[in-house]
Amino acid sequence: FNGSGFIDHHRNYLYLVDVDSGITTQLTNGMFNVEFACFSNDGRKIAYISVDDWRRSIIRNVYILVLETMEVSKVTKDNLSVSSIDWSPNDKQLLLQACTLERGWASHYHLWILDLESGHIEPLTKQYDRNTMAFVSSDSIGPYRVRSHPKWCSDGNIYVG
């Protein structure tokens, strides 16, 4: 509800814009919302986070879109709330900032490495009882909150801001 009516029918999709021609191409569509997206380092793929079911909006999955074929594959299994993603320098893994929802909305977000070939997810910060996201609650953070998006740099280091 946005003060003038329900907005559940509005969706967030991915679009590709050719800067020179101004031509816009819609890349995704359906009954889901794209929350975050990231181009692979070689520019051939886009990893994106999607809320697939508005009744379970805490579940956010990761998908890979191959731009040449428009083939989409789901790489997570409805068991995480993923807030951001970044590609490894060689584009074979993804860095996820996600929580396993063991305490529902009160769960800490940790960093994970997702191997795209095997599908194996390895926790990086799970052993620490700390959140990798800086937030208190949506009512107290104000309109100027900046979300941290961990970055996997070309030197192999991972930075969290």
Q: Residue 54 in 3-state DSSP? A: helix
Give the integer Cα–Cα distance in Å for 22 and 154: 31
Q: Between these two residues, 120 and 33, which has the higher pLDDT value? A: 120
pLDDT in tens, 86-135: 999 999 999 999 998 888 777 888 999 999 999 999 999 888 877 777 66
Give the integer Cα–Cα distance in Å for 123 and 83: 15
Q: What are phi and psi of 4, to 5 degrees?
A: -125, 0
pLDDT confidence band for 14 (50 / 70 / 90):
very high
For the entire predicted model, the pTM comes to 0.84
Sign of the Cα torsion 130, 135, 140, 141 reads: positive
Residue 2 has pLDDT above 50, yes or no: no
Average pLDDT (69-83) is 94
DSSP code string of 79-145: --EEEEEEE-TTSSEEEEEEE--TTGGGPPPEEEEEETTT--EEESSTTSSS-SS--S-TTTS-TT-
Average pLDDT (132-154) is 67
Give the model's pLDDT for residue 151. Answer: 92
Give residue 95's region: left, alpha or beta (phi > 0; psi -120 to 50). Answer: beta
pLDDT in tens, 62-74: 999 999 999 999 9
Give the model's pLDDT for residue 1. Answer: 44
